[in-house]
Amino acid sequence: MGIVVENLTVRVFIKKKWVTILNNVSGKIPKGKMTALLGESGSGKTTFLNVLSGIACSSKNFKVRGKITVNGKPRDPKKWFEQFGYIRQQDYFIEGETVSDCIKSNTKLIYKTDNTEFINSTCEKYLRMLNIESIKDSPIKVISGGQKKRLSIALVLLKKPDILLLDEPFTGLDFVNSLNFANILEHLSSTTETTMIVSIHNGPRKVLEKFQAFIYLNNADPVFIGEIQELVETYKKIGCELPKDMIHIEHIQTLTLTECQFFDVTGGAELLMQFKDLYRKETKHITGGLDKMICSRHVIDLKPSIIQIKVFIERRIKLTFCRGPKHYIMKILPLTFFLLIFASCGLIKVLVKYGGIDDVIVTHLGPIDDLLQILDDNFVLLMFLFLNNMLLGNLFGIMFAEKDVVKDEMLMCKYNLVTYSIYASLHAYLYTLFVMCTLCLSCFLIMLGFTKTIIIFLKYIFLVSPVIVLFSLGFALALSTFRAGLGLKTSNQMSILNVFLMLGYISTCDGEARKMLYFILTLVNLVTPFIYTIVFLVDILFVKKQVADKLSVFSIANLVADHGKQAFTFGILDNYKFYIFFSALIGLLLMTGIAIQYKLRLPKYRI
């Protein structure tokens, strides 16, 4: 039976008035055949495909009326996204993946399987089918536009759709590649009995001859919908004779041209009106979709998939460490900060302990044991601050770098937001623990000894890191969809500078001067909320010690513990109130992030 469209009308509110994009379109799209969707730019082709797929704009300024049935039944939101595939003008890929890895990872996502034999055989099947075996090991970012389009088809065909929608796939292809691509579509349609609807802008004859049915739109109005035999009959009814050496579908496209250099189409506007009038006359009895609103709604799925999370993590590891030395070096380079901290603190500790610093300076600072303890505290604080910053950077970086691909894949219901958020958080957390338990562990053992290292690591793993993950997740969910969020993320990672620059001054100020510094620091931290994690980190990792007043200016850890809660909160929050505020801040970030993701990434459908 195929797809039946009845009285489909789309209107959008633009510049204080309603504009009709599709005007009462009715017709049948034959099952298992190739249908060409034709029309000039702005005629409504893309809108027709979007409405048909169900992913039309969800704005209140966008209204859709009509009725769409598939094989005699309304589209079922739970099954519809398994029935159709949609290849749009813009292709979205993880550009660093190879072609074969892309197909394999999508196979795992769609079928939720780890069966290596099935995954490899499926990959080989579609590489051969789309004739892209020769580029299977090439990164997607280096292949041509036509090859990317074939890869897009391979990814869509993985779920074996009954209906395949393609929005201007021939754009940018020369004649030979267009014809080759049309041959591929024809082969797929005949062998898989897939219903194909392909929008084309002035396609060449050899390409148009591959199609068995046509939809022609002009300025939102339908001109013709039907198979080629019906188009021939329509010409006979109107009494129009074809110019020499032209086929029907070529000629009907020239009717919208005011001037045609190569064909004699005098009276084209009048002839076009005859086609429209005949179409209206033959479809006036169709009323099934009149005044039926197709409203937008969320199709919510909150169940996480363990297999999909595993696929995401495997893909991220490959992209990070298996794409040549450049990617590996870029990932390793930030880790030199840990070595720099270790080398600096270790050198100072050796000089203090073994007399490398002038005795007068040491005497002025205080007992050596206290000074060594302060050095150890500062070393621990700086190392864990960089770990926290790295966790935030990784989590935010994943969501920011993949935002367009993720939005597109979630729109096609490949996975849900819960699954993706768990993956991003888990990968960033595991990578942080990996760095901590490899690079950092040896540094801590040398500086602190075995017992202190184990205690402080357990505190971080079980008490600190879960809170940092929640904080980072809320921050990333709230800001990763905006380009400005990248700058805010960097500012938050550098928020430790506020501590270095201001806490020393605060410790030496009293009265109005201290209040003013509290106020300034709080204003700065309105855009760097990650700095509150420093106070939390110090409270968990350090036990307050009695240190001589003359030493307090040199102990970052003790300064944070003494002044942080007030310095970052207008000087009004004590320990208990600070943690109420801190908990509320994390909750607010998570709720804001979820709301933003719900609004911007969780798709709405008109089905």
What DSSP string describes 186-244?
HHHHHHH--EEEEEESS--HHHHTT-SEEEEEETTEEEEEEEHHHHHHHHHHHTPPPPT
Q: Tell me: do 85 and 96 sit in the same domain.
A: no
3-state secondary structure of 8: strand
DSSP for 376-394, written as a single string:
HHHHHHHHHHHHHHHHHHH
Q: Tell me: do 393 and 270 sit in the same domain.
A: no
3-state secondary structure of 606: strand
- Per-residue confidence band for 77, with pLDDT thresholds at 50, 70 and 90: confident
Neighbours of 339 (CB within 10 A): 12
Mean pLDDT of 188-204: 88
- Per-residue confidence band for 526, with pLDDT thresholds at 50, 70 and 90: confident
Among 264, 195, 223, residue whose Cα is nearest residue 40: 223
Q: Tell me: do 258 and 399 sit in the same domain.
A: no
**Which of 292-296, 357-361, 496-500, 511-515 has the highest mean predicted lDDT (pLDDT)?**
292-296
- In this structure, is residue 300 part of a structural domain? no
Residues paired with residue 222 on neighbouring β-strands, in sequence order: 217
Q: Tell me: do 142 and 286 sit in the same domain.
A: no
CATH code, 247: 3.40.50.300
- In this structure, is residue 59 part of a structural domain? yes
- Per-residue confidence band for 588, with pLDDT thresholds at 50, 70 and 90: very high
Q: Tell me: do 97 and 156 sit in the same domain.
A: yes
Name the CA dihedral angle for 355, 356, 360, 365, rounded to a multiple of 10 degrees. Answer: -90
Mean pLDDT of 365-389: 83
One-letter amino acid identity for 538?
V
3-state secondary structure of 397: helix
| Global pTM value | 0.86
Task: Provide CB contacts within 8 A for 528, sequence distance 6+.
Answer: 491, 492, 495, 498
Among 521, 550, 555, residue whose Cα is nearest residue 538: 555
Mean pLDDT of 230-240: 92
**pLDDT higher than 70, residue 457:** yes
247: left (phi over 0), alpha (psi -120 to 50) or beta: beta
d(CA 287, CA 274): 22
- In this structure, is residue 368 part of a structural domain? yes
Place of tokens 């993720």: 406
Mean pLDDT of 558-579: 59
Residue at a domain's end among 131, 162, 193: 162
**pLDDT higher than 70, residue 102:** yes
3-state secondary structure of 11: strand
DSSP for 288-345, written as a single string:
TTTT-B--EEE-------HHHHHHHHHHHHHHHHSS-HHHHHHHHGGGHHHHHHHHHH
- In this structure, is residue 140 part of a structural domain? yes
Total domains in the chain come to: 3
Mean pLDDT of 391-412: 92
- Per-residue confidence band for 242, with pLDDT thresholds at 50, 70 and 90: confident
Q: Tell me: do 330 and 437 sit in the same domain.
A: yes
Q: Tell me: do 13 and 115 sit in the same domain.
A: no
- In this structure, is residue 299 part of a structural domain? no
**pLDDT higher than 60, residue 190:** yes
Q: Which long-range contacts (CB under 8 A, 24 or more apart) does 290-293 make?
A: 290/7, 290/65, 291/65, 292/7, 292/65, 292/66, 292/67, 293/63, 293/64, 293/65
pLDDT (0 to 100) of residue 258: 47
The whole-angstrom distance between residue 362's C-alpha and the CA centroid of its chain comes to 55
Mean pLDDT of 470-492: 93
Q: Tell me: do 414 and 356 sit in the same domain.
A: yes
Considering only 106-115, 379-388, 532-541, 565-574, which range has the smallest mean pLDDT? 565-574
- In this structure, is residue 149 part of a structural domain? yes
Place of tokens 């209906």: 163
Residue 158 contacts residue 147 (beta carbons within 8 Å): no
Residue at a domain's end among 244, 262, 294: 294
Q: Tell me: do 103 and 72 sit in the same domain.
A: no
**pLDDT higher than 60, residue 571:** no
Residue at a domain's end among 244, 271, 294: 294
Q: Tell me: do 53 and 148 sit in the same domain.
A: no
Considering only 126-130, 328-332, 416-420, which range has the smallest mean pLDDT? 328-332
SS3 percent helix, strand, coil of the chain, rounded to 5, is: 60, 15, 25
Mean pLDDT of 441-461: 94
Q: Tell me: do 546 and 433 sit in the same domain.
A: yes
Considering only 3-17, 223-237, 563-577, which range has the smallest mean pLDDT? 563-577
3-state secondary structure of 169: coil
Model confidence over 300-311: pLDDT tens digits? 888 999 999 999
- In this structure, is residue 130 part of a structural domain? yes
Domain carrying residue 181 = 3-89+168-294
Model confidence over 536-565: pLDDT tens digits? 887 788 755 444 444 443 455 555 555 556
Residue 142: DSSP 8-state: G
Among 564, 573, 579, residue whose Cα is nearest residue 525: 564
DSSP for 453-487, written as a single string:
HHHHHHHIIIIIHHHHHHHHHHHHHHHTTSTHHHH
Q: Tell me: do 528 and 486 sit in the same domain.
A: yes
Count the residues in the chain: 607
- In this structure, is residue 69 part of a structural domain? yes
pLDDT (0 to 100) of residue 465: 96
- Per-residue confidence band for 1, with pLDDT thresholds at 50, 70 and 90: low
Model confidence over 321-349: pLDDT tens digits? 776 676 677 778 888 989 999 999 999 88
